Structure formats: C-alpha cells, structure tokens
Amino acid sequence: MDRDQNDEDSVVDLSFEAESPLAPPAELLERLPSYDCLFQGGGQQIFFPPLEAPQRPQEQRCWSRFLEHRIPVVTEEVAREALLSFVNSKCCYGSSAASDFIIQELKQQTLCRYRLETFSESRISEWTFQPFTNHLVDGPRRGTSPRLWDFKVQVPPMFQEDTRKFQVPHSSVVKECHKCRGHGRYKCSGCHGAGMVRCPSCSGAKRRAKQPRRCQMCSGSGRHRCSTCSGRGNKTCATCKGEKKLVHFVQLVIMWKNSLFEFVSEHRLNCPTELLAKAKGENLFKDENTMVYPLIDFPLREISLASERGIAQHSATLASRARVLQQRQTIELVPLTEVRYWYGGKTNVYYIYGTDHRVFVADYPERYCCGCTIV
C-alpha cells in the first residue's frame, strides 16, 4: 500500500508499546499545590482533614428504663410454625418431621448486639487528563486553586456511602501527548506499519496445503490486509484521540465511607455467631451525634468494653486521613431459642433467632439430598 512519505514521517513507531492510555511520566507535571497532605504512590495525595472543635460532654444515662424492655418468649406453637415455614422454603426437605415432632425443651436467651457506625469523608487528589480540543483552559492564570478541604460539595445522606470526582478550578495545563509525542497517531503493532500481514489461511505460501489452486483469502498474494488497523498501517492515538495534545488537571476524589463495628454478647447456645450478627433485633438504645462516647456505665460489662474498643478503633483508623461527619451507636436485643425435639427415635436440635423467627438447623432428620445449605 503506497502512502505519502511526509505522512509516514509523522507517525511515531510505538509498535512495541501497549496501545492504551498510559500515565504521563512524573517529571512531566508540576507538583500539586502545597496543601497539608500525605503523598502516596501513583501520584495521589491524601489530604489531612481540618481539626474539629471539641464536642458535647458525655451525658449521664439511666439504664434502668432501657432494660425494662423484654422480648416476648417463644412458645411451642411459635417454634413449630417457625420450623414448618423454614422447611417449606426448602425444595428437598420433608414436612412430616416439622409437623409430627415432639418438643422436649425450649431454652431461650436474649443477646445484646452492639453496633457502631462512623460516617466519614476523605479526600485525595490526582493528576488526570483528557484530549485537548482547543477548548477554554481553566489554568492558574485565572486564579488560585482552592484548598481541597475548602472545596464545598453536597454531602450524601448520612451513613450512605458514595464516591464523587471533581475537577479542581484553575489547575489545568496543556501538554503534548506523552503517548504519541504530539503526532496524534502511531504505527500499528499488528503489521508494524506495513498495512498487510501474512495471510492466516495459507500462512504466506499463496496456496493452501495440498491444494493446487491459489489461496482464495489472499488471492494468491500471501498477504492479507491487517485487521488491527484496517490496512492503514497506523492507528489514531487512543490517549489523545488524535488531538496531539492533552489538558492535564487536578482531580479531587471525595469518598464517603460508613465504617462498621459489631459485637454480639456471649451466649451459651450452639448457634453460629455470624448469623446472630445479621439477625433482626429489637432496638434498645440509640445514640447519634457528630461524636459518640463509650457506654462505660452499661450494666453488661462486655457491651461497655465493646463500645470502648469500637470507638477507639475507629478513632485510630480515621483520625489522620478522614473527617468524621457523624457517628451512631446502637444496642439491640436479639432473641435466641434452642429447641430440642424428639422425632424418629432420637433427639434433634434447631435454633430460632431474631425477632422475625429465622431458623438454623444443624441436622434435619427428613432431608432428601445433601445439596442444600441448612440455614
């Protein structure tokens, strides 16, 4: 394929480089504006949040009125209905055992589940770029970029995670494309600029093996048009989209995260703790504010210790890299009942947990296959 010599000279030979957008070399761009920040790998900067003013003092609470709340006891009738409903939801469980078993004993225990949520905001900045299309550039000459914690944005609803990206005003700068070196195109890596490749049908032999006729795919030439570049020998630069220049700017990435700490009080029954952590409970106590304090005076010692531990962990993890917007700590009562029953000449056990009476069965006696998860 013939091409004009000047056109050939304007194409950069990048046939041994990946044909995808690449990050510019670090020395190409200036250091980001001087804020209070921590430098990370990949050209990112994490910005320290401003110090917050002291919060409200800890309140004295009267726990007696909270602890007066009691969850209804699971009766034999409720226990039977819960198991039958569970069995009916399983395709390979028989309902006879759930209908005819004899309850021997009900052991009920109410657990306390402590949960701490910390809703925080963190900000990082990074250089990014897009093709320059001769549009207006918002560079340093138009003003000084705001400090990144002074950048005002709409905060999402509390405790709902989100990530948003913004272009920092007055941070744009135009540079020659670092991928094609300002040419807008580069030599195709499939054909190395020739526009033709060896015929895949005859492997360049012009005739297929053991056939006298010439290859129909390449018409006996042994060469075939390159499918990578459609025979042009070069491709439009994927980084600058052929515009030859890029506009680089500082991108602010704001992340709202809801950190979670959970603790379930100790229980004596053989029900998996991970199920109890997700079980539906009855709200006993809720405290929500910009900053919450450990429940050091709660009557159940292990809940007080969990509160102290959770708040300390979140404080240590988030203090240096995020701004805490809101905290919420709750205590829920989670009922747990062990049901011992007689069926088929032996004693079996299942558990009812949560206020919605979910069931966990370790070994159901009337199961037709072994492929179901017994939860």
Residue 322: how many other CB atoms lie within 10 Å: 22
pLDDT tens-digit map of 225-264: 787 787 778 888 888 999 999 999 989 999 999 999 999 9
**Could you give the CA distance from residue 274 to residue 94 in angstroms, rounded to a whole number?**
27
Tell me the pLDDT band of 64, cut-offs 50, 70 and 90. Answer: low
Got the DSSP string for 256-287?
Answer: EEEEEEEEE---SS---HHHHHHS--EEEEEE
For the chain, what are the domain ranges?
A: 63-117+256-361
Among 283, 275, 293, which residue's Cα sits nearest to residue 330? 283
Among 292, 303, 272, 359, which residue's Cα sits nearest to residue 113? 303
Q: Indicate the range of 217-231, 270-284, 295-309, 354-368 predicted with least confidence.
A: 217-231
Could you tell me if 172 and 139 are in contact, meaning their C-beta atoms sit under 8 angstroms apart? Answer: yes
Q: Provide the whole-model pTM.
A: 0.71
